[in-house]
Structure 1
């Protein structure tokens, strides 16, 4: 009996030793890291963020397992530069990618010399994987495998159909599904399931090694294609909110699969999970004008108001970081790179970053954020934030929550501590704060005096009291032709209210000067901003009449602008004339479709004109 007891005791001691060794080994193993990045998700669109009409039990549980941020931002309001910032720890301007990348095969994206999160973890002995959306370039040098990922599966362009895996935005339909640089075909299979299965496979294959996985989920970006299960669940919710909500629940369900997998492999306690959206919800036509919700915040995707950049963000590391924390401190996605490097105690660490290590704040939730300032610059919009004060230059409200008057709101100041809605411009009330923030913005390496709005230029000319009518249909958003003769030049922003735009078609106008006058010069203001698919007009034709019925032969001027130019600017096209006339017929001709090499290749191009100055 004693011999038997001694044997049992020996076996028990051996088991304790093995378990203790396993426990010791796991706690001395580098933690795995999973960064989950969703696509076009609204600022409050999780149950844990206040959405009462969206079912997200797994993500709400993840938030309770860790920290949920209420002041976490991304460095850009659109997909590609936001992702570049995340993966490099740098502002998009320093990452070398400030706008969405071209979908043209072979086109460049994230520069090869940029050091990414994948390269960081790979240099520290991790296996690295990318699953889902890429949208950081079509060239081999900017591909996931060239940017540090051992394994990659997903689509390279901005979005795909979830069943055919075709991209629709550029040229003919293009199949876009790749695995480690090679095109693969899973015709008819639901991409969220394909991506989820690949993510689970990556975890399974690397369960004995430390791994870093960038799980770039392509939802709730359009096209809204939820499964029947979730469509039925949201059948009583008005569209597009219902389909959008179904996509959020689709995300949540697959995050549940991932957490279950980590649990089954006993990896959850040794895995850091970060969850964030790349930018606010979309109000584009293909998103049916919306579906998402920015809650108390103004703005959505493409806007630097809070709704475009202040997004759901969670970090969880079970048994290592505090649980069930709501953190109100200031964080930007560029901060994840140095923060994760510190949490993982990496020996090879990144340098020359814009991000700030937030690890101490995560470990001590009562600690103030080490970040007090941040900068944003996207298109014409720019932001400088210092503490509670936020100043926007040339603001744009894609959520359409209020009206912006660019003559008064070109500089828009908010106190985020008092009012996060940004519905009231405090610039005139606090000119000293405006000046301080402008000076701070100009101290940033990418701030420029040319970015600072000046007083709207006025000009007096013969057309100031004239009438103007259109002979061609006007775009629904740009019908106030009177701005072309109101004596005010437009800001360098097509949404300022001083511009008339046409998409893919020409614009023909009749101006009645009310009396015959001697004319010597006609000048037309125009804009060139390829990043927003806006190109200089191709040509302007002007013909003259004294009775408004019979017009002489038109004088044609060709604009000397390279339509492939990547820079944005406004200019004035001048045509000298020697004519007595009462009526002018002006035909502004656009380039038709976006040129080759542009992300919108083959799709309608815009042109915008402001004041027509008649002398």
Structure 2
């Protein structure tokens, strides 16, 4: 009720200002609609970025009509902390969600009881309520906000989107679900707003998220809206079986005829193409409703996958690693008449820039917390250079990493030697070695020392920040 009253008050103020000043200065342009699309575990698996084995005509068209970012990073190489950084504009180490929100020991053969699951980390942990999201920010500008898809920032009521600045939620709050049953290890996990729902059980999740997104756009076509659309595709299904690739046969027949449809890699490609088809319908709806020239659309992946590549360069590492294959993801920005078509930028940009950018284009109030990003729209337009020179990552017991200028430092514990308590350090010059194959740690000790010192300084800043739960609540 308070949210609707606030939105009414904001709308009334805007209307009065328009009446008072409209005759003198002309009617101001309304703020743009905003759609933020995030794929799951995809990396650079798009033809527009050089992965020609995938059929993604709609994302390829989006890239051709917009600007591609080829040096864009998420805040982590795994799902939950990459999303916490995206949605708050703050490093995960600052906002408190730098680890996965998932049950500690996943057993594919174990079916949780409702009571057992209710007491598990997936139900008791979530993004600290003191954190401000981009939903909270856009609410101050009178936007109608929705999350449709994978939330992954807590399932208890206080953590769900309706308590975080959003007006509508359809999707799952945890890390992953079965695409058809919508269960996670036997527990039904699909939500509509604050309540679990079984109404659509048996329907492929990507098709459901497409349906809900289209309905939301049509319903709100006459007022500014923000649609956060984090698909769970092509993340593997979290079910009671180990076969995690799920896609309806008709997608495989349509996009990959003559291929072995039982092959896991073909199923994965089918999941990507099913999502691409849904995205195509969203763009077609924008054009049909004549919303395309006043809608700002961003697309990115939440992290990489194994053996990803960009423009023919095979990136090292994948999901869960501190190498480029885990952290660097595709960015596509689309806004006809505002963002140039067919442009490519290699400027250093990150997910931390998303919230400040949405605040700037919407005219929303700045959140009353320390942000770690900046408005990147001028960079996407080619009007400015990126002000970012550094980026840092840390995933406990797995890796630490830093990028400063052209150099990248990674300190990690090799999985093939778990008894080794000393991390392995590697240093790369990404300007000539995007694949991270030539370790310069011995050749450039002065750069190595500088990178260690920069990381230590950043780490000290994160540790000194105001504590946030669930992982910094001390």
TM bucket by the smaller chain? Answer: 0.7 to 0.9
Counterpart selection for 2:436 from 419, 422, 426: 422
Q: Does structure 1 conserve the Cα–Cα contact (< 8 Å) formed by 2:77 and 2:322?
A: yes
Aligned residue in 2 for 1:150: 167
Aligned residue in 2 for 1:329: 347
Task: Please give the alpha-carbon distance, in whole angstroms, between the structure 2 residues aligned to 1:264 and 1:152.
Answer: 25
Q: Does structure 2 conserve the Cα–Cα contact (< 8 Å) formed by 1:72 and 1:311?
A: yes
1:446–1:64 distance in 2 versus 1, CA, 3 Å: farther
| Bigger strand fraction | 1
Alpha-carbon shift at residue 346 of structure 1 (Å):
2.9
Aligned residue in 2 for 1:78: 78
Instruction: Tell me whether 1:262 sits opposite 2:286 in the alignment.
Output: yes
Task: Please give the alpha-carbon distance, in whole angstroms, between the structure 2 residues aligned to 1:371 and 1:252.
Answer: 31
Instruction: Tell me whether 1:304 sits opposite 2:317 in the alignment.
Output: no
Q: Does structure 2 conserve the Cα–Cα contact (< 8 Å) formed by 1:41 and 1:279?
A: yes
2:160 match: secondary structure: coil
Superposed CA offset, 1:230-287 (max 9, x none): 2223254463221111111111100001011111111111111010000112x5xxxx
Aligned pairs for 1:95-494 (under 5 A) are: 95-102=95-102, 104-105=117-118, 106-168=123-185, 173-185=186-198, 186-222=200-236, 223-232=244-253, 233-237=255-259, 239-281=263-305, 295-348=313-366, 351-364=369-382, 367-380=384-397, 381-394=399-412, 410-446=424-460
Task: Please give the alpha-carbon distance, in whole angstroms, between the structure 2 residues aligned to 1:327 and 1:243.
Answer: 32
Q: Compute the TM-score of the two structures, normalised by the length of structure 2.
A: 0.81
Task: Please give the alpha-carbon distance, in whole angstroms, between the structure 1 residues aligned to 2:55 and 2:141.
Answer: 38
1:408–1:80 distance in 2 versus 1, CA, 3 Å: closer
1:408–1:191 distance in 2 versus 1, CA, 3 Å: closer
1:113 match: secondary structure: coil
2:268 match: secondary structure: helix
Aligned residue in 2 for 1:32: 33
1:123–1:448 distance in 2 versus 1, CA, 3 Å: closer
Q: Does structure 1 conserve the Cα–Cα contact (< 8 Å) formed by 2:96 and 2:471?
A: no
Task: Please give the alpha-carbon distance, in whole angstroms, between the structure 1 residues aligned to 2:257 and 2:47.
Answer: 19
Q: Does structure 2 conserve the Cα–Cα contact (< 8 Å) formed by 1:441 and 1:447?
A: no
Task: Please give the alpha-carbon distance, in whole angstroms, between the structure 2 residues aligned to 1:124 and 1:221.
Answer: 33
Task: Please give the alpha-carbon distance, in whole angstroms, between the structure 1 residues aligned to 2:363 and 2:94.
Answer: 25
Q: Does structure 1 conserve the Cα–Cα contact (< 8 Å) formed by 2:97 and 2:471?
A: no
Task: Please give the alpha-carbon distance, in whole angstroms, between the structure 2 residues aligned to 1:323 and 1:178.
Answer: 37
Task: Please give the alpha-carbon distance, in whole angstroms, between the structure 1 residues aligned to 2:421 and 2:427.
Answer: 14
1:252 match: secondary structure: helix
Task: Please give the alpha-carbon distance, in whole angstroms, between the structure 1 residues aligned to 2:349 and 2:471.
Answer: 31
Task: Please give the alpha-carbon distance, in whole angstroms, between the structure 1 residues aligned to 2:274 and 2:347.
Answer: 29
Task: Please give the alpha-carbon distance, in whole angstroms, between the structure 2 residues aligned to 1:112 and 1:413.
Answer: 38
Q: Does structure 2 conserve the Cα–Cα contact (< 8 Å) formed by 1:84 and 1:136?
A: yes
Aligned pairs for 1:520-539 (under 5 A) are: none
Superposed CA offset, 1:93-150 (max 9, x none): 1111011113543412111110000010011110000001111112211111111111
Task: Please give the alpha-carbon distance, in whole angstroms, between the structure 2 residues aligned to 1:98 and 1:566.
Answer: 7
Aligned residue in 1 for 2:16: none
1:360–1:395 distance in 2 versus 1, CA, 3 Å: farther
Alpha-carbon shift at residue 441 of structure 1 (Å):
1.0
Q: Does structure 1 conserve the Cα–Cα contact (< 8 Å) formed by 2:414 and 2:423?
A: no
| Bigger helix fraction | 2
Task: Please give the alpha-carbon distance, in whole angstroms, between the structure 1 residues aligned to 2:407 and 2:309.
Answer: 24
Task: Please give the alpha-carbon distance, in whole angstroms, between the structure 2 residues aligned to 1:439 and 1:179.
Answer: 47
Aligned residue in 1 for 2:64: 64
Q: Does structure 2 conserve the Cα–Cα contact (< 8 Å) formed by 1:123 and 1:348?
A: no
**Which structure carries more relative contact order (alpha carbon 8 Å, separation 6+)?**
2
Matched residue count: 411
Alpha-carbon shift at residue 359 of structure 1 (Å):
2.2
Task: Please give the alpha-carbon distance, in whole angstroms, between the structure 2 residues aligned to 1:448 and 1:182.
Answer: 35
Larger radius of gyration: 1
1:356–1:348 distance in 2 versus 1, CA, 3 Å: closer
Q: Compute the TM-score of the two structures, normalised by the length of structure 1.
A: 0.63
1:115–1:566 distance in 2 versus 1, CA, 3 Å: closer
